[in-house]
Amino acid sequence: MPGLSTDAVLDLMRDVAAEVITPRFRSLSAGEVMEKNPGDLVTVADREAEVLITARLIEAYPDAVVLGEEAHAADHSLMERYLAAEHAFTVDPVDGTKNFVNGSPDHAVMVAETLHGEAVRAWIWQPEHGVAWVAEKGGGTWRDGEQVSTTPVPDDRAPEGVTSIWSLRDHRLGDLPPLRLSWVCCGVDYPKLIEGAADYIVYSRSNPWDHVPGSLLVTEAGGATGHPDGTPYTARSLRPGLVAAVDRHTWSAVQRRAQPEFARR
């Protein structure tokens, strides 16, 4: 099977971003920004980038299912095929579309590969920051070619968290410090977590294209992910709520405090 190396997939993402995403940054016309649903934006850059990345992945892996965010928006049955697939990829062509539309550099291209429902490779390319994140199951997490790991929260400090859930901003989970607003882009949030800008993240949903790449990055770097009800997160998880943390102890502490909050939702 004519597969793609980890570096080749990253090169593909970089090339596509350079071709159809970066030229539109801070240059989008009104007709190039649409709404899939009220407040849920999509741009021509999202759609064109996904088509290009998907075509190359299918060329290399004709038997794989490619779950693209925009393709799923057009055909929800794609999710069923992804969940049943032995070999699959997730593609988020422009994660943080609102940031992209508003001229923020905090957006990213994300791809993940799964085998039998388990993430085995993940890529995040941040075109405006010029930073590449890559993870392979059992092989660690790498930032621009340098292996990185999370830093556990010291015992003498309460963990500090971020969220993109607006209703939880400035909200306390139990006795923990108030939640701050995240970077509102999973392709930036997860790397920031690994770098130590936050100790944990709380999300409301677990769409595969949003969370499979970052989850593998975090776990391979020494962190932990899972749902507020205590169940593990996998590449086939769709249940509401997700907690990612820099270490297992912090994850457990946050999960216990987040569970009542999500039970009320």
pLDDT score recorded for residue 1: 44
In a domain, 259, yes or no: yes
CATH number, residue 199 = 3.40.190.80
Residues 118 and 172 in one domain: no
> Are 115 and 140 found together in one domain?
yes
Both 42 and 167 in one domain: the answer is: no
- If one counts every other C-beta atom within 10 angstroms of the C-beta of residue 188, the result is 25
Burial class (CB in 10 A: 0-12, 13-18, 19+), 212: buried
Looking at the fold, whether 201 and 94 belong to one and the same domain comes out as no
Q: What's residue 232's pLDDT?
A: 95
Overall pTM surpassing 0.75 (yes/no): yes
**Domain co-membership, 184 together with 109:** no
pLDDT 10s digits, 216-234:
999 999 999 999 999 999 9
pLDDT, residue 265, reads: 74
Supply the pLDDT for residue 159: 98
Q: Across the strands, what pairs with 33?
A: 43
Provide the 8-state DSSP code for 154: P
Do 200 and 91 fall within a single domain? no
| Cβ 10 vs Cβ 123: under 8 Å | yes
Question: Is 171 inside a domain boundary?
Answer: yes
Residue 201 forms part of a structural domain: yes
CA pair distance 58, 63, nearest whole angstrom: 7
* Helices H / strands E in the chain, number of each: 8, 14
Residue ranges of the chain with per-residue pLDDT less than 50: 1
Residues 129 and 21 in one domain: yes
Per the CB < 8 A criterion, the answer to whether 48 and 32 are in contact is no
Q: In terms of residue numbers, what domain contains 195?
A: 161-263
Domain membership flag for residue 1: no
> Would you mind telling me the total number of residues written for the chain in this entry?
265
193 falls within a domain: yes
In CATH, what number is assigned to the domain containing residue 112? Answer: 3.30.540.10
- Per-residue confidence (pLDDT) for residue 129, from 0 to 100: 98
Question: Would you give the distance in Å from CA 106 to the centre of its chain?
Answer: 13
Look at residue 184 in the predicted model and tell me its pLDDT. Answer: 96
pLDDT in the model for residue 2: 63
Name the domain boundary from 94, 115, 148.
148
Chain Cα centroid distance, residue 213: 5
CA 150 to mean position of chain CA atoms: 17
Neighbours of 18 (CB within 10 A): 11
CA-closest candidate to residue 240, choices 215, 210, 223, 262: 262
Using alpha carbons only, give the angle 48, 211, 245 rounded to the nearest 5 degrees: 145
Same domain, 178 and 208: yes
Domain endpoint, select from 91, 116, 148: 148
What is the tally of structural domains in the chain? 2
- Using an 8 Å Cβ cutoff, are 13 and 111 in contact? yes
Boundary of a domain, candidates 118, 148, 178: 148
Same domain, yes or no: 140 and 197: no
Determine how β-strand 131-136 pairs with β-strand 118-126: antiparallel
User: Is 73 found in the same domain as 192?
Assistant: no
Paired strand residues for 227: none
User: CB neighbours of 7 closer than 8 A, spacing ≥ 6?
Assistant: none
